Structure 1
Amino acid sequence: MVVIPTDPGTPDSRSARRYLWWLVVVQRRRIVAGALLGSAWMIGLTLPPYLLSRAIDGGLRAGNPGTLLRWTAALLAVGVLNAWLGIMRHRTMTKVRMDAAFRTVQVVVRHSTRLGAALPLRVTAGEVATIGGSDVARISETLTVTGPGVGAVVAYFVVAGLLFTVSPLLMAVLLLGVPLLAVVIGPLLGRLQGAESAYRQSQGELTALLTDLVGGLRVLGGLGGKGLYADRYRAGSQRLRAEGYRVGAVTSWIQALAVGLPALFLAAVTWLAARMAAEGTITVGQLVAVYGYVAVLVAPVTFLIEGGYGISRGLVAARRVVRFLTLEPHAGPAEHHGPAAAPEQPSVLRDPTSGTEAAPGLLTALVSARPAETAAVVDRLGRFTASDVTWGPVRLDAVSAAQVRARILVADNEAYLFAGTLREALVGRQDRDDDAIAGALHTAVAEDVVAGLPDGLGSAVDAMGRNLSGGQRQRIRLAGALLADPEVLLAVDPTSAVDAHTEAAVAARVKEARTGRTTLVTTTSPLFLERADTVYYLVDGVAAAAGSHAELMRDQPGYRALVARSTGEETAAGDGTAAGDLPGSRAAPDSGAAGRAAAGGAGRGGPRVESTAADGTAADRAGADASAAGADGGAAGTPTSKEAVR
């Protein structure tokens, strides 16, 4: 059994070779055991020819049945021992490969969480997926060379020594012939690295395209763009296939030579030994031994060639891993000079870039014709991007990330829902009783979601909440965020996928439940805006006006037109038309807001893994979620039922 380490250690990411060497060093005992077993197994393969030659010369030719029987028994014993050594070698090397694979996955995942919101800005989702798939497999296969590879080198010199006892000429042919094979194979390994690198690059790009396609498939079908996107994928797939053919051409030559050249070498040495036996220079038993030695050497030589092939591919994969591990998140003053103390009391969060602030104990709303602008403000206030945001008297990025995450929570309306029970989706790592859960569900108007599931809070939720409608997912995310009860809650368009009646109830209940706590929401819904203490109207990412909803409706024509458009859509949604299906709906943010899907789920507050779709895949998903708004919104007056949520 392979024990997966809790702490994978600190990888050496200075180069691909150093990373592979680190994987060797961290499991050096297992590597040494694999090398010893591999060497013993390879040496064991050379013993049967020797024993067979002694049985022929000392038993058969001498007419001595007793000697023949002894050498035959020894041959059987060596065969059994070799079988056991082969099993142990294979088991050990399997553990070596699994350890390398698991350790690589662990360091990649750990670095992903360290990058946090910077991850989608630095690398595509397809690249990360490919690293966790094919790259990890190739890196683990590379470590095979530490077992059979080492054994092959040892066996090479052992066979050379055995041939020396038969004929120095045959030993010289062996010592010169095997390096000649490496000279023939070497240039092909260089070509393979180049072809593998190009293939790996195209593979990552195609995987990213596929990830975006799957994420927005429903909306693409509704908009009639599925065919166009499929054509893009098909063209990319054909280019990748062409790259694969180039890799396959080089690989096929390497594999053919790995089998053919040792066979030719075996034929040449056997022919030379047969000539020597015919001339009486060596005995018939020695001829059989020479054939056996060189035939056995085919396996070590093949291992050496395949080892070079594996190292070539492993270096390509390791370069991608190292390139990922060297990515650095934004380093603020907390990283350079040590963390500053967070304000002891609730303090104002101020964003100088937009001129907005979230005042302690108040409900603040951000309004913009572009959802990406308000989302960017939330990212800055939540410390997911580099900014000059201040938290009371200190810069937000001067405070340790742990303190920020403990007190400030960004509730993204695309937060990832992990597979598990509904209770787990709501509670996460917190310890909350049924009364607290019932209160959060009531505030989010989500009691009907629980009541409609077969086992209530114990009902299974699929990954990404696929067995829930868009509106249900959104209310569950909001309930999870409310259950966390953070000091500062920053909610991104929390009611974009629900109908007007449900939205009115959510706005009223959130206002009441968050009394005395700092809350900021991004929305264009008058049902939420009229309950906000302060509303900021953003134009081109900067606050053009601030005040109450009534004041802005009176004094700001642009704000009035934006909210009036939203009101019209709300009415349509309330009549059964999904808000996300309407042109310009606030449920479908523009492409600039794509990629804001959180990985930690509502109420987790951890680093967010964002989609990398540059063409609005996340926005498409938001629009798709909104398509069920008219069907799943709960009634505003739904009573709290603690029995139902239990």
Structure 2
Amino acid sequence: MPITPLAHPGTPDARGPARYLWWLVIRQPWRVLRGSFFGTVWMVGLTLPPYLTSRAIDDGLRARDTGALLTWTAAIVAVGATNALLGMMRHRTMTFIRIDASFRTVQAVVRHATRLGAALPRRLSTGEVIAVGSTDVNRIAQVLTFVGPGVGSVIAYFVVAILLFNVSALLAAIVLVGVPAMVLLVSPMLRRLQRVETEYREQQGVLTALAGDVVSGLRVLSGIGGKELFASRYRQRSAALRDEGYRVGSVASWIHACAVGAPALFLAAVIWLGARTAATGDITVGELVAVYGYVAMLTTPVYFFIETSYDFTRGLVAARRVTTVLNLEPDVTEAPSTVPVPAGPADLHDPVTGLTVPAGTLTVVAADEPAEALALADRLARLTDSDATWGGVPLSGMPFAELRSRVVVADNDAYLFAGSARDTLTPPGEHTPEAIAAAVHTASAEDVLDALPDGLDTAVGNQVRTLSGGQRQRLRLARAVLTDADVLILIEPTSAVDSHTESVIASRLRALRAGRTTVVVSTSPLFLDLADVVAHVHDGAAATGDHETLLHTSPAYHALVDRRTGDDQPAEAGR
């Protein structure tokens, strides 16, 4: 039994889909060899019953030799039992090979996704990543069937040709030519399948991402009357995917029909020719029965040939999606560390905007363009390569893992994992009940936990969709606060809560984080009014000051805050 998850899945060969599939094969060589052995012996063993049957007919029935008949019959039974055992071992081994390939692919993708970090959602949609884990992994694993029955089918094909040659050279020649001809028959359909499967796979990823967006924002969409608009868009995309699925199904149905129908027609043609040969006395009745058995047995290798080609075509499409993920590079270059992380509080500086975040302060960043604020947060946390500094030392030269633990960025839509509420709420590390209670209190999330049947021990699903958007946001904030990071960067932490709750959270956050550096990206006056430093990012440059001063000296800042509050009076906006 393969050990899963694998301790060391290895470094995948992502230079192309075929190379990736081959990498999955060579990562489990002994298991693949066993699969090839059992598959080959089982497949070749299927050729023995026709031969034994022919001997039983010619040496037993026709010769009226009861002893010979019983001997050959016993041999048929023994071969059948042996083939059943070999078939079981083949299936068991191939199942392990597919499980290994599945887990190896999942682990390779997950590890690389972890390495990509914040770069992943910028490069790929959620739907693409979900489709890799839910669909592509299974199709890739199915391809590895060729190392067992696939290899056995090739060898059995030549064995049958040799056996038929001893009966009739003509019949052997027909088999040698006919089997490849049946496989070539479906090759044009396989190329078409690869095209339509690729298109279907891309549309599936887009639709999955759209479905996730609709579900996650359902309450908001209902509130603004946009539910029907998004539902209509989803129906259109779904209809397009359905039509593409029909095209895939049409090609696949022809391939499956050929896999069943072509061998049957070929069998009929060979048996007809064999019967005519027997009628002329060129072969015996027993040999005719053997010919029928050999060719009937060939339907199994031919079926595997065609099915393997079908699986390989779909597997190439799936492997191409996996290698696309594996070939993505993170936004941050993990160069060897050359300087230590500051031992104590130190200023952060972003040369792009000119912003300096004083150590130990609550700094609120208000940007005209949200994208500029997000880019600033990424640079300050080294989620992307930049010349940002901490304590006058470039972030790019600091130890990556230590920097990640001491500078934390918390998005307002960060993922909430399934498990107990305690597991969802607490980041890695040891956290005392008092620390958890303080974080929950700061995020004003006591009512959220009180509403759960078993409090922190309540089992919750992915993204805790049973809670409202504001409740989930408060849990995310509590989790971020619980990291106790030296520098905590919060992205719109209260965008989904009411103003009263936001005011409570802002004051509690300021109190809890006193003396430590906290950066909040927000245009809320409730945060801006409490900030030690307000940084207004306008046209790529940061102007700093306090809230009241910027309101009266910066028309652009006043317009930004005014747009948020809907007030026309600066003084009111500042309260």
Superposed, 1:454-473 pairs within 5 Å as: 454-473=453-472
Taking structure 1 as reference, are residues 263 and 427 closer, same or farther at Cα in structure 2, changes over 3 Å only? Answer: same
Are 2:43 and 2:156, in contact at CA under 8 Å, matched by a contact in 1?
A: yes
> Is the contact made by 2:183 and 2:302 (CA closer than 8 Å) also made in structure 1?
no
Q: Deviations over 1:41-73 (max 9, x none)?
A: 111111111111111111111112222112112
Q: In the alignment, does 2:86 pair up with 1:85?
A: yes
1:442 paired with 2:423, answer no
Residue 273 of structure 1: CA displacement?
A: 1.6
Q: Which runs of structure 2 are paired with 1:380-399 in the superposition (5 Å)?
A: 380-399=379-398
- Name 1:429's counterpart in structure 2: 428
User: Does 1:555 pair with 2:564?
Assistant: no
User: Residues 61-210 of structure 1 correspond to what in structure 2 (within 5 A)?
Assistant: 61-210=62-211
Determine if contact 1:203/1:240 at 8 Å carries over to the other structure.
yes
Superposition deviation, residue 320 in structure 1? 1.7
8 Å contact 1:206–1:236 — kept in the other structure? yes
In the TM superposition, residue 88 of structure 1 has moved relative to its aligned partner by 1.4
Contact 2:362 2:518 in 1 (8 A): yes
What is the one-letter code of the residue matched to 1:542?
A
- TM-score, normalized by length of structure 1? 0.83
Distance in 1, matches of 2:183 and 2:468, equals 61
Q: Cα distance, 1:541 vs. partner?
A: 4.1
- The question of whether the paired residues in 1 share the 8 Å contact of 2:337 and 2:400 is answered with no
Structure 1 residues 440 and 42 mapped into 2: Cα distance closer, same or farther (>3 Å)? same
Instruction: Flag the 1:490–1:170 CA change in 2: closer, same or farther, 3 A.
Output: same
1:314 to 1:358, Cα distance in 2 relative to 1, 3 A: same
Is 1:536–1:546's contact at 8 Å kept on the other side of the alignment?
yes
Runs of 5+ consecutive residues of structure 2 not aligned to the other structure: 568-572
1:487-526 Cα deviation digits (max 9, x unpaired): 1111122233333443333233222222221111123333
Provide the C-alpha distance between the structure 2 equivalents of 1:233 and 1:525, rounded to a whole number of angstroms. Answer: 33
Change (3 A) 1:223 1:496: closer
Write out aligned runs for 1:180-259 (5 A). 180-259=181-260
What is residue 596 of structure 1 aligned with on the other side?
none
SS at match of 2:531: coil
Does the aligned pair in 1 maintain the 2:332–2:382 contact within 8 Å? no
Bigger Cα displacement from structure 2, 467-476 vs 65-74: 467-476
Match of 1:405 in 2: 404
Secondary structure in 2 aligned to 1:485? coil
Farther off after superposition, 11-20 or 552-561:
552-561
Report % sequence identity: 57
2:381/2:409 contact within 8 Å kept: yes
What residue number does 2:47 align with?
46
| Distance apart, 1:331 and its partner CA | 4.3
Letter in 1 for 2:380: L
1:452 maps to amino acid: A
Deviation of 1:562 after TM superposition, in Å, equals: 4.4
Post-superposition shift, 1:35? 0.9
Mapped to 1, the partners of 2:203 and 2:15 lie a distance apart of 24
C-alpha distance after superposition, 1:204-230 (max 9, x if no partner): 222232222222233223333333323
Change (3 A) 1:499 1:236: closer
Please give the alpha-carbon distance, in whole angstroms, between the structure 2 residues aligned to 1:568 and 1:199.
Answer: 46
After TM superposition, give the deviation of residue 338 of structure 1 in Å. 5.1
**Secondary structure of 2:341 counterpart:** coil
Q: 1:548 Cα shift?
A: 2.0
The alignment partner of 1:364 has SS state of strand
In the alignment, the residues of structure 2 paired with residue 496 and residue 222 of structure 1 have an alpha-carbon distance, to the nearest angstrom, of: 15
**Shift, 1:568, TM fit:** 6.5
Separation of aligned partners in 1, 2:184 and 2:461:
55
Alpha carbons of structure 1 residues 461 and 540: separation in structure 2 relative to 1, 3 Å = farther
> Shift in Å at residue 421 of structure 1?
1.9
Please state how far the C-alpha of 1:567 moved relative to its aligned partner. Answer: 5.5
The DSSP-based 3-state class of the residue aligned with 1:290 is helix
Q: CA deviation at 1:441?
A: 2.3
Shift of residue 379, structure 1, vs aligned partner: 2.3
Distance 1:561 1:486 in 2: 33
CA drift of 1:406 comes to 1.4
Deviation at 1:381, TM superposition (A): 1.4
Structure 1 residue identity aligned to 2:323 = V
What is the letter of the counterpart of residue 69 of structure 1? L
Report if aligned partners of 2:44, 2:159 keep a CA contact under 8 Å in 1.
yes
Rate the CA distance shift 1:527–1:313 in 2: closer, same or farther, 3 A. closer
Q: 2:520 is matched with which residue?
A: 521
Match of 2:476 in 1: 477
Counterpart code for 2:519: L
Q: Return closer, same or farther for 1:436/1:313 CA change in 2, 3 Å cut-off.
A: same
**Count of equivalent residues:** 567
- Relative to the length of structure 2, the TM-score reads 0.93
What is the deviation of 1:177? 1.8
Structure 1 position 56 matched with structure 2 position 54: no
1:100–1:139 Cα contact (<8 Å) kept: yes
Q: 1:276 to 1:566 in 2, by over 3 A?
A: closer
Q: Residue in 1 aligned with 2:502?
A: 503
In the superposition, relative to structure 1, how do residues 257 and 506 fare at CA in structure 2: closer, same or farther (>3 Å)? closer
Is the 8 Å Cα contact of residues 427 and 482 (structure 2) preserved in structure 1? no
Aligned AA (1:254): I
1:459 shift after superposition? 2.3
SS at match of 1:13: coil
CA 1:331/1:501 → structure 2, altered by over 3 Å: closer, same or farther? closer
In the alignment, what sits opposite 1:420? 419
- Distance, in Å, in 2 between the alignment partners of 1:421 and 1:430 is 16
Distance 1:499 1:245 in 2: 48
CA offset digits 1:612-635 (Å, max 9, x no partner): xxxxxxxxxxxxxxxxxxxxxxxx
Deviation at 1:558, TM superposition (A): 4.3
**What is residue 618 of structure 1 aligned with on the other side?**
none
Q: Deviations over 1:109-133 (max 9, x none)?
A: 1111111111122222222222222
Secondary structure at the counterpart of residue 410 of structure 1: strand
Partner-residue secondary structure (3-state), 2:117: helix
Q: How does 1:597-608 map to 2 (within 5 A)?
A: none
In structure 2, the partner of 1:310 is 311
Distance 1:191 1:497, change over 3 A: closer
Tell me which residue corresponds to 2:530: 531
Q: Quick one: structure 1 residues 461 and 185, their matched pair in 2 at CA, closer, same or farther if it must change by over 3 Å?
A: closer
Tell me: CA distance 1:22–1:537, structure 2 relative to 1, closer, same or farther (3 Å): same
C-alpha spacing 1:519/1:110, structure 2 compared with 1 (3 Å): same
RMSD between superposed Cα atoms in Å = 2.2
Distance 1:168 1:253 in 2: 33
Which stretch of the first structure deviates more once superposed, 237-246 or 133-142?
237-246
Structure 1, unmatched stretches of 5+, are 570-584, 586-646
Kept in 2, the 8 Å contact 1:493–1:522? The answer is yes
Amino acid at match of 1:290: V
Q: 1:49 to 1:326 in 2, by over 3 A?
A: same
1:22 aligns with 2:20: no
| Partners of 2:359 and 2:324 in 1: CA distance | 42
